[in-house]
Structure 1
Amino acid sequence: MRRLLIPLAAMLAALILPCAAGEGDQAQPGGGGAAPTAEQVVSLAISEAIRPGFDGYAAATADLATAVGAACAAPSDATLAAAREAFGATVIAWSRIELYRLGPLLENNRAEAILFWPDRKGIALKQVQAALVQHDETAASATTLVRKSVAMQGFGALEFILFGNGAEALATGDEYRCRYALAIATLQQGTAAAMAAEWADPAGISQRLLAPSDTDPEYRSYREVAEELTGLLAHGVELIRDQRLLPFLGRDGAAPKPKSALFWRSGMTVPSIAANFAGLADLLQRSRLAEATAAENLWVGNGAGFEFSNAARAAALVTDPVEAALADPRQKQALDYLVIVSRSLDTLLGENLAAALGLSVGFSSLDGD
């Protein structure tokens, strides 16, 4: 008799044992046959979403370093515009994968060094402005910048250098400011390349996820890996709502604060949020995680896909920088709707999907904020 591995939900309840196929096997949509196994879900998540995402981010940071280097070598309005455009493309590439918070991204304070946020006390701005005023040479070389505060190393710092007060001098040859920008871009290029290589390493994090072991401190079973992936989705939409949207939209009826938005100087606030949603949608769809349930629970994945589409449509309605968008009723309504969508997705992924898979996604790092 032909043998198949049983779907994830049943696998987790049956100690991940194979079973014989029979007339009762449940075909699932989107996969061309039986529901995916736990190993297939993990393999698809890595090969179809995570690795391509980190590869794309590595390519974007390489382009950014090249563009900033060109702006330093030949200052002009055109080279500054190209550097700013490359910054925007890198923000999009980063935002698609920043919520894949496991493995390489969590090592060596990488996430904080890439994006120090939220920064409620304005630490990054103070440190970057001080470096620009003092011409701190240790900030103008990647080899020494890496040993300084993480708040000075990432995209928040680079955004101010490229778009903040005094940035126009880059077009006429502000040599120190440009060297500091290049140091950040170079540092981020190296980090991105390292993370992509670590995800590509067949003996690295991929092996730990694909072959969980009792000796692994984090991934002892497929259940724990599945909980990790489901948690990425649930906690990801929570982060979008609580750290990206509500701080500038205003909590509990408070007035909007456009300058509390991430990337407001560069106009990348909403594009980055849209990319956050898109990255999570990509992980859910390509991993087929929501298909690894009983037939009566397939509505969860369909519902989540519908809400991710709603998020994309709402974000596309916001065409102005965040301050102007908040002043326009139609765009403000679209931003408010993104909060509603995030709450719906939080329920669908953190409660309904987790329950359908027999999992617990645990507590978010945001709990208690």
Structure 2
Amino acid sequence: MHSNPYPRFAAAITLGLLLSACAPSDPYAETSTTLTDEVLLPAYTQWAEANRRMAASSIAFCADNEELDATRQAFLNAQFAWAGLQPMLVGPMGEGNRAWQVQFWPDKKNLVGRQVTALLKRKPNLTQADIENGSVVLQGLSAYEYVLYDKAVDLTDSATKARYCPLLEAIGEHQQKLAADVLQAWEAEDGMTEQLKEFPNERYADASEAIADILRVQVTALDGLKKKLGAPLGRQTKGHPQPFQAEAWRSDATLGSIDAALAGAQRLWQGADDNGLKALVPKDQQDLASRIEVAYATTRKHLADAMVPFSELIANEAGRERLDALYDDLNTLHRLHQTELARALGVQIGFNAHDGD
């Protein structure tokens, strides 16, 4: 009499499932998933919320229901949320010209001021469509900051306020919609969140490609921070300081923006609980992990110590020396990620958007 083969077959399947459940999972996939859930998605959500509040704030201010100080604070919150997102521009935000729509920098020829003035002369009854179809110079935080902070715009004068308010509200609406659209692209079915967690997909063949993408964007942002400090310090202009090439100089949010971007890069490195890129450094290279930890701590401490108005720091020799030391800190961090961390994780960095600047 033949014994029934099915119980053995079923047992074999069950054993196979148990073994696969016990099999060590791909550490790159694990890290990509935890970074997505605990760092990337929360940062995009926070950015979208900061923009929603900035848009609401512009409407309240223009209706005389909010003081200028509160409106400026809502702008700063959006500026710092955006700065913190810079090292995380994987996927939708790094495509098209979306980043330019958020912030126009460097503004070497005061295009922001000139284009805002020209636009309001040409379109005294500005509509949302004028901004949507207009230049990226006018759509983002740089133009919003100009209206709120530039000495040429006196918002305590009711006629001036009435002239500039349609622009303020239109930019607020544009930023809110842009951030909401990007967040939607993250959260949608088969969206960026899924693509960083389930492999293969149309963007990444495997988890190591996703990690490589995250590291490349982080490295580009660290290099970008050197530019944001180097340009006003005059490193591209034979040492002649160019204070008006600083990021967010009108609101004196320059160093705060650099710190927020550094904090974003550090979150990718550390994760929520030492489960970020740091977790992928091989056991025999823990010295590298320690040096990166020290580099972040040192840079952020020097930044915290230098938190006086950027315009004051760059105006005197002692201040410029502190900024130069900070530039060297950023350079160390950038090199550690671009060369040593990339090698440790098996990532080819290649060229980035800042190369050759």
Q: Would the TM-score normalized by the shorter structure come out above 0.5?
A: yes
1:54 alignment partner, one of 30, 40, 44:
44
Please tell me whether the aligned partners of residues 290 and 300 of structure 1 are also in contact (alpha carbons under 8 angstroms): no
CA distance in 2, matches of 1:171, 1:275: 33
Q: Name the counterpart of 2:332.
A: 344
What is the aligned residue count? 338
How big is the shift at 1:134? 3.4
CA distance in 2, matches of 1:95, 1:4: 45
Q: Name the counterpart of 1:187.
A: 174
CA distance in 1, matches of 2:205, 2:113: 42
How big is the shift at 1:328? 4.7
Please tell me whether the aligned partners of residues 274 and 311 of structure 1 are also in contact (alpha carbons under 8 angstroms): no
Give structure 2 stretches of 5+ with no counterpart. Answer: 1-14
Greater shift in the superposed pair: 221-230 or 155-164:
221-230
Please tell me whether the aligned partners of residues 208 and 219 of structure 1 are also in contact (alpha carbons under 8 angstroms): yes
1:273 maps to 2:258: yes
How big is the shift at 1:170? 4.8
Name the SS of the counterpart of 1:309 in structure 2: helix
Name the SS of the counterpart of 1:99 in structure 2: helix
Question: Per-residue CA shift, 1:11-48, capped at 9, x if unaligned?
Answer: xxxxxx99967xxxxxxxxxxxxx97111111111111
Q: Name the counterpart of 2:234.
A: 250
CA distance in 2, matches of 1:159, 1:71: 14
Give structure 1 stretches of 5+ with no counterpart. Answer: 6-16, 22-34
What amino acid sits opposite 1:172 in the alignment? S
Q: Name the counterpart of 2:190.
A: 203
Please tell me whether the aligned partners of residues 240 and 273 of structure 1 are also in contact (alpha carbons under 8 angstroms): yes
What amino acid sits opposite 1:348 in the alignment? L
Q: Name the counterpart of 1:125.
A: 113
Question: Per-residue CA shift, 1:255-281, capped at 9, x if unaligned?
Answer: 211111111111111111111111111
Please tell me whether the aligned partners of residues 106 and 245 of structure 2 are also in contact (alpha carbons under 8 angstroms): no
Q: Name the counterpart of 1:28.
A: none
Q: Name the counterpart of 2:6.
A: none
CA distance in 2, matches of 1:310, 1:136: 50
1:160 maps to 2:160: no
1:368 maps to 2:353: no
Q: Would the alpha carbon gap of residues 345 and 144 (structure 1) be closer, same or farther in structure 2, given more than 3 Å must change?
A: same
Aligned ranges 1:230-241 → 2 under 5 Å: 230-241=215-226
Please tell me whether the aligned partners of residues 104 and 137 of structure 2 are also in contact (alpha carbons under 8 angstroms): yes
Q: Would the alpha carbon gap of residues 237 and 143 (structure 1) be closer, same or farther in structure 2, given more than 3 Å must change?
A: same
What amino acid sits opposite 2:196 in the alignment? L
Q: Would the alpha carbon gap of residues 136 and 148 (structure 1) be closer, same or farther in structure 2, given more than 3 Å must change?
A: farther
CA distance in 2, matches of 1:81, 1:167: 15
1:357 maps to 2:345: yes
The RMSD of aligned alpha carbons is 2.6
1:262 maps to 2:247: yes
Q: Name the counterpart of 2:8.
A: none
How big is the shift at 1:180? 0.5
What amino acid sits opposite 1:51 in the alignment? L
Q: Would the alpha carbon gap of residues 51 and 4 (structure 1) be closer, same or farther in structure 2, given more than 3 Å must change?
A: farther
CA distance in 1, matches of 2:286, 2:225: 25
CA distance in 1, matches of 2:299, 2:281: 24
Q: Name the counterpart of 2:5.
A: none
Greater shift in the superposed pair: 120-129 or 257-266:
120-129
Name the SS of the counterpart of 1:167 in structure 2: coil
How big is the shift at 1:332? 2.9
How big is the shift at 1:100? 1.5
How big is the shift at 1:254? 0.8
Larger radius of gyration: 2
2:267 alignment partner, one of 279, 282, 296:
282
CA distance in 2, matches of 1:220, 1:356: 20
CA distance in 2, matches of 1:121, 1:332: 23
Q: Name the counterpart of 1:69.
A: 59
Q: Name the counterpart of 1:144.
A: 130
How big is the shift at 1:79? 1.3
2:292 alignment partner, one of 290, 296, 304:
304
Please tell me whether the aligned partners of residues 36 and 196 of structure 2 are also in contact (alpha carbons under 8 angstroms): no
Q: Would the alpha carbon gap of residues 2 and 89 (structure 1) be closer, same or farther in structure 2, given more than 3 Å must change?
A: farther
What amino acid sits opposite 1:164 in the alignment? D
Q: Name the counterpart of 1:169.
A: 155
What amino acid sits opposite 1:248 in the alignment? P
Please tell me whether the aligned partners of residues 298 and 329 of structure 2 are also in contact (alpha carbons under 8 angstroms): yes
Greater shift in the superposed pair: 345-354 or 332-341:
332-341
Aligned ranges 1:322-341 → 2 under 5 Å: 322-341=310-329
Name the SS of the counterpart of 2:67 in structure 1: helix
Identical-residue share of aligned pairs (%): 27
